[in-house]
Each structure stands twice: as C-alpha cells, then as structure tokens.
Structure 1
Amino acid sequence: MRKLLKFTPIIMLLIGLTSCRSVKVASDYDREANFDNYKTFAFFKPGIDKAEINDIDKRRILRAIEAELMAKGFTKSETPDMLVSIFTKSNQRVDIYNNAWGYGAWGWGGYGGWGWRSHGNTVSTTTEGVLYIDLIDTKKKELIWQGSGTGNLETRNIDKKEARIKEFVSQMLLQFPPEKK
C-alpha cells in the first residue's frame, strides 16, 4: 500500500499529461445518406481556401486526409462522389490551479503564524485548435458527414507537428464511414 501511495503523484502527473495531449473527437452525419454509394472524393478548394490556417499546415492536413481516405478504399477523382472541405477555429484555454495552500493553519503558531495562508494561484494558457472535416455529397450538394477534432497543436518541432496533425485526422476519420445500424 505504501508503494502505491508513493507512486500516486507520478501516476496522476502522467494521466494529466496524456489527457492534455489527446484529441477530443466527435462526428455527426446524415442518417439518410447511403455511405456505400461513396467511392471517390476530391477536395473542395473554395471551402479549403477559407480555412484560417497557414498554407503549410493546410497541405499537411489535406495529405493526412487523403492518406486516411485512400487507406479506407476511397479513390481521388476528377468526378467525385463526395467533396472534402475543412475549416478551423482556435480557442484560448485558461487553466487556473489553486494548489498553493498551506504553511499554517487555523490555530496558534506554526510556520506563518496565526490563520490560514495561501501563496497564490498558477495560471496556464494554451491555444486549442478545432479542425472540422466536412464531407459533401457532390450531386445533392449537401453535407453528409462532419468530424471535429479538438486539441493542442502548438509545437515548434516540425516532425512533432506533422505527427500531431496526422493523429488529429486519423482519430477523426476513425468514425467515418458511420457504422450501419
């Protein structure tokens, strides 16, 4: 039991770090769409051009989407069944940690004297990005599936950034095509 208590802070730190790095994904789709009819895709340039992300990261995202769709058996085509578009958002995330209580307590004496003491808060800000992937029926010009992935993308290391983008796209497209009910 003592060993478990000894390693509890380390385990909690690892859980915290891995939860910060994870991608939170969600998807929605048109229940009337027959996803068996979609075999080919192309990128919807007007939609992609509006995405508020630099061109280098945009190309990384598109390459990752293309690789994932092709791995699922879809083919890129000039006359596609569905169009792929993306857009992005960013949110400023502020975390406030109030874990600096101590050095005294109610009562007489002790370090810090009389009363309860607090020595401040720790504030952390990060930018969370949200990537949306839209799949549009080419003939009907209707959205048939949308995936979203939320997580932290900031990194100065290009290899890590590229791997993070691939992780985003891969996690999102795990939910495509939706399972038949």
Structure 2
Amino acid sequence: MKNSRTLAILVVFLCFACTSSLVTVEDDSYKNFDLTAYKSFGFMDIENTNPSNPEFEKAIDLLKQEVAEGMEARGLSKSENPDLKINLGLVVEEKVQTRTTSLATDPFMYTGQRNYTWQSQEVPVNTYKEGSVTLHLVDSKNNEAVWVGSIDRVVPKKEEKKAEAIKFAVEELFNNIDQN
C-alpha cells in the first residue's frame, strides 16, 4: 500500500513537471500586465466559508505573508490606500485516488455457479486533499482585474510541509507574473 501511495505521488509530481507552467492564467488579455506600473498593494477582505476551521485561517495568513513578501521584493509597499488590490481565493477539496482493476491484478473468483463474467471497475486506493490558490490583482482606480492566475497542488498531509507548499505555490504565481 505504501509503495502504491509513493508511486501515485511520484506520478502527480512528474505530470506537473512535464508542463511548461503550473499556473493557469484565465485570460490572454493579462499577458501585457506590468507589475512595475504599481507602487503599493493591499489585501481585500477574505470571506471564510468555514469559520470553525483553524487550518483555513492559518493557510490564509501564510498566503498573505508570502504574497506580501513577493510584492515587497518587487518594489511595492503595503498601503491602506493601495494602487493594486489583492484578492486571494483558497479552496481545499478531499479527493479519492482510484485505479482500474484488471484481470492480471484482480482476477475473478469462481463462486460455484457457471457465472464467469468479470468487468473492469474503479477501486479507491488513497485519499488526498487538493488545494487551489487563486490570485486576483485588481487595479484600484478602475476596480478591474489586471491579472488573474491560479495553481492547483496536492496538499501535504504533514503540517511542516504545508508552509513549504504554500511558498512554492506563491513563487510559481509570481514567476508567471514576472514572465510578462
């Protein structure tokens, strides 16, 4: 069971490694976005749909911290009246990893009747959480999105790895912004 879990995680990472970018940008009109045109940033209010979940608040705080560091590293300063507003979205879903049965690994059993039918089916092998972070950069003057991107990743089960995963996701988002 542990080998299949390790193999599944390896396959997920290899699939992501084969893509040119892990970030999905919603619209081609954002490709001319220039972050250097802005001097200050601020965060929009975030609605917590599950206030009883302390993990959500912790993840949002880590996201804000990483995004603020990324903005400051690019010369923007945090302000109460910013040129650029940042709207963060975070969704975490429980997912089930499955595999398809085959005659080689899951042969049918003879039950005493002349019923020898067998068909392939999906069987669960693991559960995991997938997180999606969406970053909306909104021009304060026009109140219009100037760049929107998102990244989907498997959320690590170990607490100490979650901060690393958030840092990686934010770095990927900024790498995509910097390519413009």
Is this a same-fold pair by TM over 0.5?
A: yes
Q: Percent identity at matched positions? A: 19
Partner of residue 49, structure 1: 47
How far apart are the structure 2 equivalents of 1:94 and 1:74?
41
CA distance in 1, matches of 2:151, 2:13: 16
Q: How many residues of Structure 1 are paired with residues of Structure 2 in the alignment? A: 156
Structure 2 counterpart of 1:40: 40
Q: Unaligned 5+ residue runs, structure 1? A: 1-11, 106-114
Write the distance in 2 (CA, Å) between the matches of 1:91 and 1:55. Answer: 16
Deviation digits for residues 33-73 of structure 1, max 9, x if unmatched?
654421210111x2x23466621111011001111111222
| In structure 2, distance between residues paired with 1:161 and 1:104 | 36
Q: What root-mean-square deviation, in Å, do the aligned CA atoms of Structure 1 and Structure 2 show?
A: 3.4
Greater C-alpha radius of gyration: 1
Give the letter aligned to residue 43 of structure 1.
Answer: F
Contact 1:25 1:148 in 2 (8 A): yes
Give the 3-state SS of the residue equivalent to 1:140 in structure 2.
coil
Q: Is the 8 A contact 1:128 1:151 kept in 2?
A: yes
Cα 1:118–1:83 change in 2 (3 A) is: same
| Change beyond 3 A, Cα 1:145–1:120 | closer
- C-alpha distance in 1, partners of 2:90/2:106? 48
Q: Deviations over 1:53-97 (max 9, x none)?
A: 621111011001111111222221233110111112234433321
Q: Does residue 171 of the first structure (1) align with residue 172 of the second (2)?
A: yes
| Residue pair 2:100, 2:120 contacting (<8 A) in 1 also | no
- Please give the TM-score of this superposition, normalised by the length of structure 1: 0.68
TM (norm. structure 2) is 0.68
